[in-house]
Amino acid sequence: KSRGLNTYRMHCICLQNYVLILKHPLYPTWPSHYQNSPIWAKLLHHSTLLIEASLFHSQNFIKPGEQEAARCDTWAQLIERGCMEEDIISPKNYFSSSKNISLSNTALDKGEPIQLRPQEVNLKLRPGLPHTFTLDFQRVEGYPVDLYYLMDLSYSMEDDLRSIKTLGNKLFNALQGITKKGQIGFGSFVDKTVLPFTNTNPEKLNKPCAETEMYCQPAFGYRHVLSMTGNKAEFESEVNKQRISGNLDSPEGTLDAIMQAAVCGERIGWRNSSTRLIVLTTDDGFHMAGDGKLAGILEPNDERCYMDNNLYSKSNEMDYPSVGQVANQLEKNNIQPIFAVTKNMEKELSKMIPKSEVGVLSADSHNVVELIKNAYNRLSSKVTVTHDALPDNVRVTYTPLCPEGGPSGDKGVCNNVGVGQMVSFNVTVTADECMQSEISFLIGPLGMKDKLKVSLSTLCKCECNDPVTVDSPYCNGKGQVNCGMCSCKAGFVGQKCECSIGEKDESSLRAACRKDNGTECEGRGDCVCGICQCYTLPGGSTYYGTNCECENESCEKFQNKLCGGNGKCRCKNCECKPGYEGTACQCKKSDEQCRTPSGSVCSGRGTCKCNQCKCMEGYQRPYCLTCPACQTTCITKGKCIECLGFQTGPFSKNCSQACTSISEFKMVETLPPGKPCDVRDVESCRVFFAIKQLDGEDNYTAQILKTRECPKLPNIYAIIGGSIVGVTVIGILILLFIKVLFTLQDLKEYRKFMNEAQKTRWSENKNPIFQEATTTVANPTFSGE
């Protein structure tokens, strides 16, 4: 009978909000006698009074001198301080599912099979407050499978190619055993056709195999041979046409081929709703990003499709992709690789690419069909749920709800999941900070097209039911109430907009509230018109001072009493009552324990605090008698001792003024027992003395030995004469040594000359041009008679 009134009571009791009552969808349709009834008028009147009381309470919740931050606290603390429950604004996380289609049982259902639910959700999160929802996955029976057979056709794979040509029928039968909606495609690869990867001699490019090999195709990088097809005869026909090829080095261009097979979806023929598999068979390693520099290829791989006449057209222009790039494109295109490789390559590939399987290929690849079946079963039975890229301030964790689930973390893993078995994951999303705009990201199982779209935004504003009054009286008519606080018009500042800044700059007013360019009002008050209005402390007192730098509740305590109960706290310092002293007024004034036997207080080298000596720097308690760290007086007072005792030294002319620290001295015949001090005077004589410190910082008495210990003067003449004689003797010895050296050298040369002279033999031939000095002429007529 009274549906409108009951609805109103619900709003009044739960929300107590007059605005919501007037906006109720049924309100305009109520009969006029309901709207004009006395009961309705009375309820409206009470509701209005309740709202005004609530508004007044929220605006006056802050006590005088209390900071606005006191409005923010835990629910329990706010209730305890008197805040009404209906005035507490505490936003909750909001979750809604905008698309939640039921899971499909088989792939034969009309339309695309649904394996994941929900499909779209909206989240509005309070920063730091996580929200958890459930994600369900169920692998449907007979889900389509697209299998792309990617084969290494380098020369070492010759026997493997022969085996594959005979295994086409078995491969199709194995695929049909997995699903009735299976398709298969074929591609092949070798390596880049540039040095040092392939011999670039024209003859070798045309026939890179051995000379004895009759069936050899030219070198190539990657070739797409057959798009996805369900025709077994077509597959066998195209595979039988393949011929072996070759290259120079052992690693192949495997990553080039996988990248093109992943990104050239239309050429390969991948279906939108299918399990996509790439089966890679090879017997050797692969080139990675950076290897292209060996051939002068510097352009990095851009992860795009370049197919011309079914050949990778930029094989010799772009570098090899990295393993990370390949893994990213496989995940992006929901492709799961199965690596059928030799034993030495098994460990190398097993951990590089997520959601992949590795099987050991036999020498001639005859076990490839069984290998594919086993690898597919392992892939399909393991469900790994994760997400794509997230902002730094968003975290997503997964908790598997399955019998053989993995640990909670940034991925959710369920093992040994059968066909038709539903598994669930608790997905927890947390936004650590406020976000300016809504973001979206995808969550789903690796290798599957099915994805959940999550639209995420943050709740960073309090949705307060404030009155729409622009010039609120609470804000002195200069602003609007927003969540109990004033939002002032331009030109007005203050807790209640009471300050008009006029032509002044607000920043300059705030600067007046900063001490030494520090925090505004030391963080203990509000800056209003350039003057600090200090906050109230929990104990009831307030901060004070020009910049709220003082307060009277944080002085040192003694026996859990502020200032020991013997003084008052003034601006963080204790002011003690008469008769007490100490930082916490914990001591009675007394110097009994500070007096030396002579009656002085702390030997005149300290002050008595709390009946204990507080010595000057370097001196030690209890009476400040000794100073181990000070420089010894034997050194510091040596010049004054020389001056006072013997009127010599640098202070001899003003001894009485320079040496006032030695108040008394005596010249004595003998010094008291103990090790005396000694210094050398200007005459190099040793002066012995004993010095004693009196009360006070620099006050001494000394006893000086009358007799000095002076060294004997050396015999100058003997030193000079000895020096001359020594120099002369040394000079003569040096000359003799030189003479001996020269004599020995001459003797050596003479002996050498004589030896050479003895070895000389002169020839005795007669000179043909020599004429005797005399000439004998015979007279022809002389007969001798």
Mean pLDDT is highest, among 65-79, 186-200, 692-706, for: 186-200
Mean pLDDT is highest, among 109-118, 190-199, 531-540, for: 190-199
Q: What pLDDT is recorded for position 66?
A: 64
Using alpha carbons, select from 100, 167, 182, 180 the residue that is nearest to residue 133: 100
Q: Is 352 left (phi over 0), alpha (psi -120 to 50) or beta?
A: alpha
pLDDT at 191 over 50: yes
Element (H, E) at 679: strand 677-680
Counting other chains too, the contacts that 44-49 makes at CB distance below 8 Å and 24 or more residues apart are: 44/18, 47/12, 47/16, 47/18, 47/21, 48/18
Calculate the average pLDDT of the chain. 83
Kindly compute the dihedral angle of the four CA atoms of residues 192, 194, 199, 202, in this order, to the nearest 10 degrees: 110
CA distance 13 to 27: 17
Number of alpha helices (DSSP H) and beta strands (DSSP E) in the chain: 19, 36
Q: Count CB-CB contacts under 10 A for residue 785.
A: 3
Tell me the pLDDT band of 633, cut-offs 50, 70 and 90. Answer: confident
Q: What pLDDT is recorded for position 461?
A: 80
- % of the chain exceeding 70 in pLDDT: 87
Kindly compute the dihedral angle of the four CA atoms of residues 229, 234, 235, 236, in this order, to the nearest 10 degrees: 160
Using alpha carbons, select from 306, 307, 289, 285 the residue that is nearest to residue 298: 289
Q: What pLDDT is recorded for position 17?
A: 44
Tell me the pLDDT band of 680, cut-offs 50, 70 and 90. Answer: confident
Q: What pLDDT is recorded for position 308?
A: 93
CA distance 169 to 369: 10
CA distance 329 to 334: 8
CA distance 647 to 281: 109
Q: What pLDDT is recorded for position 24?
A: 45
Q: What pLDDT is recorded for position 732?
A: 93
Q: What pLDDT is recorded for position 298?
A: 92
Q: What pLDDT is recorded for position 495?
A: 75
Tell me the pLDDT band of 593, cut-offs 50, 70 and 90. Answer: confident
The whole-number average pLDDT for the span 729-752 is 91
Model confidence pLDDT, tens digit, residues 444-475: 998 888 899 999 999 888 777 766 777 888 88
Q: What pLDDT is recorded for position 75?
A: 83
pLDDT at 723 over 70: yes
Model confidence pLDDT, tens digit, residues 334-362: 898 988 887 766 556 566 777 788 887 77
pLDDT at 477 over 80: yes
Q: What pLDDT is recorded for position 371?
A: 82
Q: Do the bridges between strand 412-414 and strand 422-431 make them parallel or antiparallel, or are there none, so unpaired?
A: unpaired
The whole-number average pLDDT for the span 485-505 is 79
**CB within 8 A of 342, min separation 6: which ones?**
282, 283, 284, 360, 361
Q: What pLDDT is recorded for position 56?
A: 54
Model confidence pLDDT, tens digit, residues 595-631: 888 888 998 888 888 888 989 888 888 889 888 888 8
Q: What pLDDT is recorded for position 58?
A: 58
Model confidence pLDDT, tens digit, residues 230-240: 888 898 888 88
Q: What pLDDT is recorded for position 348?
A: 60
Q: What pLDDT is recorded for position 49?
A: 47
Q: What pLDDT is recorded for position 346?
A: 54
The whole-number average pLDDT for the span 192-216 is 88
Tokens of 30: 């109520």
Least confident of 63-72, 183-192, 237-246, 677-686: 63-72
**CB within 8 A of 484, min separation 6: which ones?**
58, 59, 61, 62, 71, 87, 464
pLDDT at 524 over 60: yes
Q: What pLDDT is recorded for position 186?
A: 93
Q: Are 276 and 333 in contact (CB under 8 A)?
A: yes
Tell me the pLDDT band of 18, cut-offs 50, 70 and 90. Answer: very low
CA angle 243, 244, 248 (to 5 degrees): 150
Helix (H, G, I), strand (E, B) or coil at 572: coil
The whole-number average pLDDT for the span 727-754 is 91
From residue 491, alpha-carbon distances to 47, 433, 487, 514, 529 in Å are 36, 32, 12, 21, 11
Model confidence pLDDT, tens digit, residues 278-291: 998 888 888 999 99
Least confident of 149-153, 176-180, 346-350, 622-626: 346-350
Model confidence pLDDT, tens digit, residues 106-137: 765 566 788 899 999 999 999 999 999 999 99
Q: What pLDDT is recorded for position 177?
A: 80
